[in-house]
Amino acid sequence: MFLADHRRDFYELIQGQRVLLLVAFDVDALCACKILQALFQCDHVQYTLVPVSGWQDLETAFLEHKEQFRHFLLINCGANVDLLEALQPEEDTLFFVCDTHRPVHVVNVYNDTQVKLLIKQDDDLGVPAYEDIFRDDEEEEEDSGSESERAGPAEKRRRFEEAVVERTMRRRERREWEARRKEILFDYEQYEYHGTSSAMVMFDLAWIMSKDLNDMLWWAIVGLTDQWIQDKITQMKYVTDVGALQRHVSRHNHRNEDEENSLSIDCMRIAFEYDLRLALYQHWSLYESLWNSGYTAASLKLWTLQGQKRLQEFLADMGLPLKQVKQKFHSMDVSLKESLRDMIEESANKFGMKDLRVQTFSITFGFKNKFLASDIVYAATSLMESVDKDGADAAGTDSFVRALDSLSRSNLDTLQRGLELAKRRLRAIQQTVASCICTNLVISQGPFLYCYLPEGTPDVRLFSKPVALGLLSKCLLKSFICSTKNRRCKLLPLVMAAPMDGEQGTVIVVGIPPETEASDKKNFFGRAFEKAAESTNSRTLHNHFDLSIIELKIEDRSKFLDALISLLS
């Protein structure tokens, strides 16, 4: 059931209760969690936090804690499956679900006793009407016993024939209704997409209760930026949500210049700005950032000698000396730094990079620490999916806690460590993209493009993680579109696979929608993967909250792909 009043129907209800927070492994969920933690601390709400990386974790956590808790809050997980069927809870258990995954399962929408949805109603949810999905089948036989006993043989025969006709009509109506229901549900469930950021939903709750702080606003901004970097929402949705947050930024950060000059060292200030679509450039050298940002690497085709020459021409057109460009950004001449954005934007238009400028927000801590929202997203994601130098996974809960800590301004050391990991990952992504294109690893399979990262590829362990593989897939698809002359291939989606667990012989597979200007970011691979696995008895694990990410046994890869090709042809 959708909650109309989040304050009354959710927050006031859980005050005085013990709550179990089940939080997914993504930055938007982390930010929503930080906002809630601040609210709970303010109102002395008792809670336990359990990170969950997939459905198996969610079920395990529920089974372990269902005896101690009656109130469960699920952040960025749980909306797109029938929760009651999946978890089999007691009748007095309450689930509050704040999740960006769409479509929301119809049983969750129409269950008004145990499932409460903290979901923004402004989103175009398109939920089917109750009567189109559910019906009561108590076919009451209207049989007046005493009258039929008194009726003669002819009357009995007539009534019997009428009853047979009526039953036949009811059965036909039932079949037609079932067929229509199946069609409606297929239309509703075939595409996977994302709604309003959970961090924004939680910030709205804090704002309604007049408990919103600048820190909470920053976490809402980071949550939205995470959706944009991972390409989960359309450009129009991003710009609309940025506009909504910009009004809050003006309200919280409206000091004048004189006050700014006398700010204390531990203060923070958020500002709206048009900045560059260059990853981590303020914490790197401009050259490294241009080389390792997906947008510029694809636009300039930096995996070719011609592209590298174009990068040199681009820098020359701006009039930037290589010595300045290749040193750390904070060491560049102040005069160059001040005019850098205008210089880059002017030259970018000449080189076909018309979208290099983007609306975003920055935060300043004290006198010297300045970060863009995208910097925080890259750092937190890298901490959350970190692998050590030997390629082994860091412990899941430890990584989650480190990523959560990096969102607090008191933990700048953790954030800096995250930025270094993010640089390593961005380099790995661009090197892998270049390798895949130069060795023709991207092949057309008919209805989609396909790429498999073979075992032994440098940094392949980094891409056994869902967010990292998703970012790689999106960069690869953009770059491939820029490199191919085949017009049909430019309109195709991409399926990408990478080794996951060598001992168990599994690969991780992700499907992403086509990269077109009119793209609505709706992804049909989730349902397609399920059907392809079902029809071939492939050994798959659908454990991720994003349905378009699955795990698959290496031996079943070819038959699974064949089924996917025939299904989508």
pLDDT over 90 for what percent of the chain?
A: 45
Among residues 56, 80, 84, 54, which one has the least CA distance to residue 72? Answer: 84
Could you tell me if 531 and 479 lie in one domain? yes
pLDDT tens digit string along 78-130?
Answer: 899 999 999 988 888 999 999 999 999 999 999 888 999 998 876 678 888 88
| 485 shares a domain with 349 | no
pLDDT score of 395 more than 60 = no
Q: Which residues contact 48 (CB under 8 A, 6 or more apart)?
A: 18, 19, 20, 21, 65, 69
The DSSP code for 392 is P
Residue 190 within any structural domain of the chain:
no
Q: Name which residue leads in pLDDT, 204 or 261.
A: 204
Task: Please check whether residues 366 and 396 belong to one and the same domain.
Answer: yes
Strand partners, 98: 75
Q: Which of 425, 452, 477 is the last residue of a domain?
A: 425
User: Which residues span the domain enclosing 396?
Assistant: 229-425
Residues 338 and 421 reside in one and the same domain: yes
- Residue where a domain terminates, one of 425, 460, 480: 425
Into how many domains does the chain fold?
Answer: 2
Q: What is the pLDDT of residues 480-507, one digit of tens each?
A: 998 888 888 888 999 999 998 888 889 9
| Confidence at residue 112, expressed as pLDDT on a 0 to 100 scale | 87
Counting residues of the chain whose pLDDT is more than 70, the rounded percentage is 93
In this structure, the answer to whether residues 355 and 504 fall within a common structural domain is no
Same domain, 291 and 381: yes
Render pLDDT for 273-311 as a digit per residue (tens, 0 to 9). 888 889 998 898 889 999 999 889 988 899 999 989 999
Would you give the distance in Å from CA 556 to the centre of its chain? 27
CA–CA separation, 505 and 164 (whole Å)? 58
453 and 507 housed in the same domain: yes
Q: What is the pLDDT of residue 219?
A: 95
Decide if 170 is inside a domain. Answer: no
pLDDT at 255 over 90: no
Which residues make Cβ contacts (< 8 Å) with residue 391, sequence separation at least 6? 461
pLDDT digits (tens, 9 = 90+) for 192-241: 999 999 999 999 999 999 998 999 999 999 999 999 999 999 989 999 99
313-328 pLDDT per residue, tens: 888 888 888 888 888 8
Same domain, 456 and 415: no
Cβ neighbours around 518 below 10 Å, total: 6
- So what's the pLDDT on residue 97? 94
In which band, very low, low, confident or very high, does the pLDDT at 264 lie, cut at 50, 70 and 90?
low
How far apart (Å, rounded) are the C-alpha atoms in residues 191 and 425? 30
The helix/strand/coil state of 480 is: helix
Order the strands of the 115-117 sheet from edge to edge: 46-52, 18-24, 71-75, 94-98, 115-117
pLDDT band at 149 (very low <50, low <70, confident <90, very high): low
3-state secondary structure of 516: coil
Task: Point out the domain boundary residue: 366, 393, 425.
Answer: 425
Residue 472: other Cβ atoms inside 10 A: 27
Question: Do 451 and 442 touch, CB atoms closer than 8 A?
Answer: yes
56 sits in which H/E element: helix 55-65
Q: Is residue 136 part of a domain?
A: no
Tokens at residue 193, please? 């997409």
Length of the chain equals 569
Residues in contact with 416: Cβ distance below 8 Å, sequence separation at least 6, in sequence order = none
Q: Average pLDDT in the 162-173 region?
A: 84
**pLDDT at residue number 115:** 92
pLDDT for 146 beyond 70 = no
Residue 333 lies in a domain: yes
At 261, the pLDDT band (50, 70, 90 cuts) reads: very low
Q: Which residues contact 182 (CB under 8 A, 6 or more apart)?
A: none
SS3 489: helix
Which ranges constitute the DSSP H helices of 277-355?
286-292, 294-300, 305-318, 322-326, 334-350
CA angle 357, 358, 361 (to 5 degrees): 130
For residues 277 and 382, state if they share a domain.
yes
